[in-house]
Amino acid sequence: MSLDGIVVKSIVNELENTILNGKIDKIYQPEEDEILINLRSKGNNVRLLMSASSNNPRIYLTENKKSNPIKPPMFCMLLRKHLQGGRIIAIKQPLLERIINIEIESLDELGVMSTKELIIEIMGRHSNIILLEQDSKKVIDSIKRITPDISRVRQIMPGSIYKLPPSQDKLNPLFINKEQLIDKINNTNEGTEIYKFIYKTYMGISPLIAREICQRAGLNSNLKLGGLSEHNRESLFISFNNVIDNINFNRYEPTMVIDEENSKALGFSVIDITQYGDMKKIHFDSVSKVLEEYFTTRDKLDRIKQKSIDLRKVINTNLDRAKKKIAKQKQELINAEKREKYKIYGDLITANIYRIEKGQEKVNVQNFYSEEQEEIEIRLDNRLTPSQNAQKYYKRYNKLKNAHKLVAKQIEFTKQEIDYLEHILVSIDNCTEVKELDEIKEELAKEGYIKARSKNKKKNKKSTESTPRHYISSDGYDIYIGKNNKQNDYLTLKFASKDDIWLHTKDIPGSHVIIKTKGGEVPETTLDEAALLAAYYSKGKMSSNVPVDYTERKNVRKPNGAKLGMVIYDNNNTLYVTPRVSEINKIKIAED
Q: Domain check: are 181 and 276 in the same one? A: yes
Query: Is 230 in the same domain as 322?
Result: no
Last residue of a domain, one of 420, 452, 484: 452
Q: Is 21 left (phi over 0), alpha (psi -120 to 50) or beta?
A: left
Q: Is residue 159 part of a domain?
A: no
In sequence order, the 6+-apart residues with CB closer than 8 A to the CB of 577 are 528, 531, 532, 535, 545, 546, 548
- Which residues lie across from 269 on neighbouring strands? 255
Domain final position from 142, 163, 181:
142
Whether 536 and 579 have beta carbons less than 8 Å apart is answered as yes
366 lies in which domain range?
Answer: 315-452
Decide: 584 and 535 in contact? Cβ < 8 Å: no
42 and 92 in a single domain? The answer is: yes
d(CA 334, CA 415): 17
Rounded CA gap, 263 and 418, in Å? Answer: 31
C-alpha separations of 216 from 3, 173, 235, 271, 331 in Å = 20, 17, 9, 12, 67
pLDDT in tens, 494-529: 999 999 999 999 999 999 999 999 888 999 999 999
Q: Is residue 302 part of a domain?
A: no
Q: Are residues 441 and 472 in the same domain?
A: no
Rounded Cα gap, residues 486 and 508, in angstroms: 18
- Report d(CA 282, CA 268) in Å as an integer: 9
Q: Please give the chain's pLDDT, 592 residues, in tens.
A: 589 999 999 999 999 999 999 999 999 999 999 999 999 999 999 999 999 999 899 999 999 888 888 899 999 999 999 999 999 999 999 999 999 999 999 988 778 899 999 999 999 999 999 999 999 999 999 999 999 998 888 999 999 999 999 888 899 999 999 999 999 999 999 999 999 999 999 999 999 999 999 999 999 999 999 999 999 999 999 999 999 999 999 999 999 998 876 667 888 999 999 999 888 899 999 999 999 988 887 777 788 888 889 899 999 999 999 999 999 988 888 877 778 788 888 888 898 888 888 989 889 988 888 877 788 888 999 899 989 988 998 898 888 888 888 888 889 889 989 999 999 999 998 887 888 888 899 889 888 888 876 654 444 444 457 789 999 999 999 999 999 999 999 999 999 999 999 999 999 999 999 999 988 899 999 999 999 999 999 999 989 999 999 999 999 999 988 888 999 999 999 999 999 888 888 899 887 6
Residue 326 lies inside a defined structural domain of this protein: yes
Residue at 458 is within a domain: no
Nearest Cα to Cα of residue 443 among 463, 427, 456, 455: 427
- Pairing state of beta strands 478-481 and 469-472? antiparallel
The answer to whether residues 398 and 483 belong to one domain is: no
* Residue at 245 is within a domain: yes
pTM: 0.70
Burial class (CB in 10 A: 0-12, 13-18, 19+), 226: exposed
Together in a domain, 125 and 19: yes
Indicate whether 303 belongs to any domain.
no
State whether 342 and 269 are in the same domain: no
Q: Using the 8-state DSSP alphabet, how is residue 267 labeled?
A: E
Quickly count: other Cβ atoms within 10 Å of residue 17's Cβ.
12
Plot region of 296 (φ>0 → left; ψ -120 to 50 → alpha; else → beta) = alpha
CATH number of residue 209's parent domain: 1.10.8.50
How many independent structural domains does the chain possess? Answer: 4
- Residues 343, 393 contacting (CB under 8 angstroms): yes
Q: Are 484 and 512 in contact (CB under 8 A)?
A: no
Structural domain includes residue 304 = no
Task: State whether 477 and 438 are in the same domain.
Answer: no
Using CA atoms, how far apart are residues 64 and 49, in angstroms rounded to an integer? 9
Q: Is there a contact between 230 and 178 (Cβ–Cβ < 8 Å)?
A: no
Which conformational region is residue 344 in: left (phi greater than 0), alpha (psi within -120 to 50 degrees), or beta? alpha
Instruction: Label residues 579-588 b or e (16+ Cβ within 10 Å = b).
Output: beeeebeebe
Which among 490, 495, 587 is positioned nearest to 537, based on CA atoms?
587
